[in-house]
Structure formats: C-alpha cells, structure tokens
Structure 1
Amino acid sequence: MKGVIGITMGDPAGIGPEIILKALETDSLSGTNCVVIGSAEILQMVIDKKLAKPQKINIINKVSEAQFESGIVNVLDTPLADLENFEFGKVQAQAGDLAYRCIETATALALKGEISAIATAPLNKEALHLAGHHYPGHTELLAKLTDTKDYAMVLYTDTLRVIHVTTHIALLKFLQTLNKTRVNTVIKIADEFMKKAGFAKPKIAVAGVNPHAGENGLFGHEEIEILNPCIETMKQEGLDVYGPCPPDTVFLQASQGQYDIVVAMYHDQGHIPLKLMGFYDGVNITAGLPFFRTSADHGTAFDIAWLGKANPESMVKSVELAVKLSNV
C-alpha cells in the first residue's frame, strides 16, 4: 500500500510509546496512513496514565484492515513477554526483544510492499543485547534483515543533511580502516539517496579527516592518499562532488545552502554539528536499504520515560519525512 508508514515502537520502557502517540495526535499526522508495530497494551497504558491525549487503539491483523481516521491509532499488536514484570525507564531483556520483533515485522512488511517506509522509535542497545540480539543499533539490524551490504547513516534536517562513512567504531579503528572503497560507496549512496529525495543533481561535500582538511599534508595524509582520489573518481562518473572540505566550516556552508549533503568521516564529526543546529527536528535515516527508514534522532531517554515530559518533535519530523519520501 503506497504511502503507508510503519511506525515501530522501539524500547517500550523508554519514551517511544509516548512520542508515537503524541506525534499521531498532531495536526500534520492525525489521520495519516500510519500503522504502529508494537504492544497495544503498552500504548493503552500511556493513554490511561494521561501521558498522551485519548485516542482509540485499533488492533489489526494486517495492514489492509487499518482505519486511517483522526483519533484512531492502528496497531499490529506485538505483545510483551511478561507485562506484569515490565518496568518503566529501566533496561530489561524483554523490552529489547520487543524492539527487535517490531523491526523484524516492519522489515518483512516493507519487503512485501505492504508498507512503503518505516519510522522507528528509539531502542536501547543494552536491552537489545540482553535479549540476545547483538547489533550496534537500528542501522546494522536493518542491513542484516534486508541483506544489504552497502548502507550508511544519514542525519537529515531541512537545512543540513549529513551522511557518515563510519559510525559506531572507535576513532583509532576508523583511522586504521579508512579506505577508498568505502568512501566511494558512501558518496554514491549519498547521490542516490538525495536523488530519491527529490534533488535532481545533489551537491555533495566531502569533509576532511584532519584539521583544515590536512593542509596539504601538514596535518595528515588521509586527504591526499584517500579522499582526493575518491573525489576525482566520483567527478569522472558525473557526480557533483566537492572537497576535501575543512570540517570546521563545511557544515555551516551546507546549512547555508552551498551544499546539499555532507559526507562526514566518523560519528561525532557529523552528529555534533547536526544536533547543535537541529536537535529536535533532526531525523536519522538509513540510506541504501530497499525502502526508506527514518527515525527520531535521539535515544530512549529512560530518565524522563513515562513521566509525560518527552518532546515528540523529532518523531513528528521522522514520520513526516517518511511520508514525504514515500511519495516523491
């Protein structure tokens, strides 16, 4: 069903259930073609505790049974193993397992074409691992479930978009393993993703590894030995690529419209500027999958979970972007 978005609950002990319901009650998403994959009982608990406005929980067995109307939340029920021993705001194996099963179900639906995109609420990596699912996060899990070898994490706002060469590895390992093949792959993924997102010929900036992008070898040789050859290769293939760009200025330049997306070399290089400029409206996207996947760009926030304090803005942006990308 084109335009139907599957929203996965994430870790139910965190803020996921609350921000999902708060997002679906907003004017921009109320009545939208969305199906929640998660525990119907957990969602009802959120409403009963008055953490979100009252909405009707409509349990469905398949996507085609959904009623896309204001005030109705369609749920493909994925129950907790032991609701009686469920604890708010705490790491627990059954919560990690539920988060995994939600992703597994959503992925199967997307691959069958029953939903056109997935918007994920945050999961907790420790809980995921306690449940026996040993993945660093959503990105790697989705890649495994879809048998996708070439993928990358994108952080997306209206004014700044960043794609990462590496994410959840130590800085030392990043330096030891940085190579032309991966850089070329990520530049290509960036180009393909941006075109799918509606950019006819995206302008792609490649951030340097070192201060001042190495200053012609003064501060390092990664730019000379790895990045320069990659950029020239991509230009020869017709991509609109620039760099290596000094990392301390390229993100500002991109936010002002000089570039459409920045290729960041490692996790914090890309995450820090984007979260500084758009913490609440940033969306996490896995590019390279056979379908669009967006996510709220924050964690489970156990410290404020189930207290009614969670801000749903990033979840709203995530679902809105999933809808937009599905209809480009």
Structure 2
Amino acid sequence: MHEGELPLALTMGDPAGIGPEITAGAWRAIRHGAGHFAVIGDAQAIGQYDVPVREIDTIAQAAGVFADAVPVLPVSLPVPPTPGQPDSRNAGAITASIARAVELARTGQAAAVVTCPISKIVLKNAGFPYPGHTEYLAALCDVSGAEVMMLACPELRVVPVTIHVSLRRALDELDTAGIIAATRTTHAALRRDFGIASPRIAIAGLNPHAGESGSMGTEEQTVIAPALEALRADGMDISGPWPPDTMFTPAARARYDVAMCMYHDQALIPLKTIDMTQGVNITLGLPIIRTSPDHGTAFDIAGRGVADPSSLVAALRMAMQMAEHRNRS
C-alpha cells in the first residue's frame, strides 16, 4: 500500500504533552489510508496509549511497518516523561527530533516534516535561542529571515506578516518590505504547494476600519499601500487594505485564497475561531514542506486519554497533499 511513497517525518514534540497521545490517535486514523509516517521520538511514550509500536533503523522501513504498528526512529530521553510535567532536561532530545526530521526531508528521505507541539518556555529554560518552531526550522534550513507562517483550515488561510513578537514590537517592525516579502513567498507557495494557479490575496489593514482615510491611523497609506502597488506590479491579484473587522465573514472569505495579516493575533483569532480542530500551521519559505497541528502541548490534559488528534491528522494529510502538488510542479 505504501510502496514507493516517501514517508512523512513526524517529530515527537514535548513528550510530557499530548504529542504521544495524538500521535497514537493519528496512526489509528490513517493507518489504512493513503500515506504513512515515522515518528522520531520515544517508543515507550507512544506505546502507553494502547497502540503497537516498532522501532526502525531507517525511515525507509516505515512503509513495511505502518499498517501494523507505529514506526519509530528512536531518540533517547534523558528523563522518562511524566504526562503533564514537562522537564527541560529533555529539551535537547526534543530539538534533536526536529533536526533529524529536517535532515531526512532535506536529503530526500522524507516527503515532509510534521511537528508535534513543543513548549517554548520549556526549551527557553534549557537555553534554546529561538522564539519557536518556525524560526528554528528556518535556521536548520539555512534560510533564517525567509520563513513565513501560514495557518490553514478548510475555510480560511491566513499569514501574519509579523509573528512571535509582542504587539508593541510588531507595530515597530511592520514595514513595506516585510509585507512584500511575506506576500511573495505566500503567492509562490499557493501556486507550487496548493495547486492554485492564480492566487487571490487579500491584504488586511492595521488600524480600525483600515485607518478610515487616515483618521484612525496612517499606516494603511504610508506602509501598506506602497506594498500593494509593488505586488500588483508583479502581476499578482491583490486586494486591500481590508478593514480587519469585516474581512473574515463568510461572504468576504469567498473573495480571496489567503489573508495577509499585519500581526499574530489578527491572523490566528479568526482561524482558530472558525475551525481550530482542523487548523494546520504551515511554514512557508523553506526548501522543505512543514506542517503542524494548530494547538499547543496541552499539559493540563496530557495523559488523560481525552486529547483530540484531529488537528494532527489534518496536518499529516495536508503535508501529503502539498508534497503531491510540489512533485507535480
């Protein structure tokens, strides 16, 4: 069933979170369907959720294992994980899992990287120098500064131009060049990885009512409008700046393929409100495909057997679809 297909490389995330549980749930959901994955992590952490687990030596062996057990490329944990009790002593293993997955994708052994949730504070306490997954993946791929974060569900795609910084800092960092760069990267990804030949891109305003002709802020005129002109000169189908409070209604969403937002919450609040269960985090601008569930480690429910694997399943399936589109292009 999986012969000839490249596997997805699934990282373990924080082993004290819900990563092991949703990994087990995702395997149950897709084991008899198209595609397969190998986990880079701790076999025992996954096996406690009543699924068969088999350690493998190479990711190529995952195809022959997947129908019967979760294939695991083992990563040694310094401290046995306790659900709900994260331990920074495992930070090195968590980041090693991500690095190994990226290596497998960059060398053509994996079709894509799918990442389980990490805890930024757990890694930060261990000296991890990156704000989150997105920036670390860019560094591993030698494209720091080119990374763009997209969140997607069946009814909406959003891209925040500024990402993991405070709102005050985001306002200081937002500039015309950043909007142009993020939009160009998004446009290219929609064509290559999503199969959209002529993407329709909506640009959000920054201020209430998109500035109301300057009476509620002038960034739409001084920062955003020049970006729109440059992008239209590239031949892109660009609209905006849209008033942020009305651009996410069903009627508005039907008019574009992606919304470019000016800061983190402007993008993520509508996406998570519309469909957090099927939400997927995607890193654009990398030489590899990377997706992730659109939720965190959920330490508060880890180990209780109640974690919903739907977002991870959606991330795995989206990675498969993106890989298919990229192979055709």
* Bin for the TM-score computed over the shorter chain: over 0.9
CA distance in 2, matches of 1:185, 1:31: 35
- 1:218-248: CA deviations, max 9, x gaps? 1101000011111011001111111111101
Contact 2:31 2:67 in 1 (8 A): no
CA RMSD of the aligned region, Å? 1.6
Please state if 1:205 is matched with 2:202: yes
- After superposition, the Cα gap between the structure-2 partners of 1:154 and 1:81, relative to the gap in structure 1 and judged at 3 Å, is same
Residue 193 (structure 1) aligns with: 189
Residue 223 (structure 2) aligns with: 226
Amino acid at match of 1:129: K
TM-aligned CA deviation for residue 62 of structure 1: 1.1
Amino acid at match of 1:7: L
Amino acid at match of 2:111: S
- 1:231-269: CA deviations, max 9, x gaps? 011001111111111101112257742100000110110
Please state if 1:137 is matched with 2:132: yes
TM normalised by structure 2 equals: 0.93
1:118-267 correspondence runs (5 A): 118-148=113-143, 149-196=145-192, 197-252=194-249, 256-267=253-264
Q: Percent identity, please.
A: 39
Q: What SS does the corresponding residue of 2:283 show, helix, strand or coil? A: strand
- After superposition, the Cα gap between the structure-2 partners of 1:312 and 1:254, relative to the gap in structure 1 and judged at 3 Å, is farther
Amino acid at match of 2:135: E
TM-aligned CA deviation for residue 193 of structure 1: 1.1
Greater alpha carbon shift after TM alignment, 5-14 vs 69-78:
69-78
TM normalised by structure 1 equals: 0.93
1:274 to 255, 263, 271: 271
2:294 to 297, 307, 310: 297
Residue 51 (structure 1) aligns with: none
Amino acid at match of 1:291: I
TM-aligned CA deviation for residue 3 of structure 1: 3.7
CA distance in 1, matches of 2:31, 2:191: 25
- After superposition, the Cα gap between the structure-2 partners of 1:222 and 1:138, relative to the gap in structure 1 and judged at 3 Å, is same
- After superposition, the Cα gap between the structure-2 partners of 1:2 and 1:216, relative to the gap in structure 1 and judged at 3 Å, is farther
TM-aligned CA deviation for residue 147 of structure 1: 1.2
Please state if 1:33 is matched with 2:36: yes
Amino acid at match of 2:214: G
Residue 13 (structure 2) aligns with: 10
Greater alpha carbon shift after TM alignment, 159-168 vs 58-67:
58-67
Amino acid at match of 1:314: S
Please state if 1:98 is matched with 2:101: no
- 1:204-227: CA deviations, max 9, x gaps? 000000011111111101000011
TM-aligned CA deviation for residue 81 of structure 1: 1.1
TM-aligned CA deviation for residue 132 of structure 1: 2.2
- After superposition, the Cα gap between the structure-2 partners of 1:274 and 1:255, relative to the gap in structure 1 and judged at 3 Å, is farther
- After superposition, the Cα gap between the structure-2 partners of 1:158 and 1:277, relative to the gap in structure 1 and judged at 3 Å, is same
CA distance in 2, matches of 1:29, 1:285: 25
Residue 319 (structure 1) aligns with: 316
CA distance in 2, matches of 1:312, 1:239: 37
Q: What SS does the corresponding residue of 2:128 show, helix, strand or coil? A: coil
TM-aligned CA deviation for residue 65 of structure 1: 2.0
Amino acid at match of 2:38: V
CA distance in 1, matches of 2:251, 2:107: 37
TM-aligned CA deviation for residue 98 of structure 1: 2.2
1:82 to 79, 83, 87: 79
CA distance in 1, matches of 2:19, 2:66: 22
TM-aligned CA deviation for residue 174 of structure 1: 1.3
CA distance in 1, matches of 2:6, 2:273: 31
- After superposition, the Cα gap between the structure-2 partners of 1:11 and 1:29, relative to the gap in structure 1 and judged at 3 Å, is farther
Q: What SS does the corresponding residue of 2:321 show, helix, strand or coil? A: helix
CA distance in 2, matches of 1:300, 1:205: 31
| Structure 1: gaps spanning 5 or more residues | 48-53
Amino acid at match of 1:72: A
- After superposition, the Cα gap between the structure-2 partners of 1:254 and 1:325, relative to the gap in structure 1 and judged at 3 Å, is farther
TM-aligned CA deviation for residue 28 of structure 1: 6.9
